[in-house]
Amino acid sequence: MATAKKKTEYFTYKGLPFVRSKNFIYYGDPSDEYIVFMNILETDNSPDKLPTRVSVELLLTDESLPPMERSLKRKEKSSLYEAFDLGQIWLERAKKTK
């Protein structure tokens, strides 16, 4: 008997999936042309482990390209808020220029 596949629901922000796996954060729909990838590089020593250094990248989702060619923009920020804010701006602009 065939079992139905369960559709995984992700947390969304402004209608786009926001997925975290350990220190990696992906924002955007993988079926779109672009996504934002954030890597938490450092955290502070507080119990909450707040990010103090975050790398943010705008990536193409085309898997036929080599990994280095998929990265369109890259920047380091001093907080997760700044990185997410910048990544969201890049993603919106990239979608508009399409």
25-79 tens-digit pLDDT: 999 999 999 999 999 999 999 998 999 999 999 999 999 999 899 999 999 999 9
17-35 tens-digit pLDDT: 999 999 999 999 999 999 9
Q: How many CA atoms within 13 Å lie on the side-chain side of 64?
A: 1
- pTM of the predicted model, to two decimals? 0.84
SS (H, E, C) 25-88: EEECCCCCCEEEEEEEEEECCCCCCCEEEEEEEEEECCCCCCHHHHEEEEEEECCHHHHHHHHH
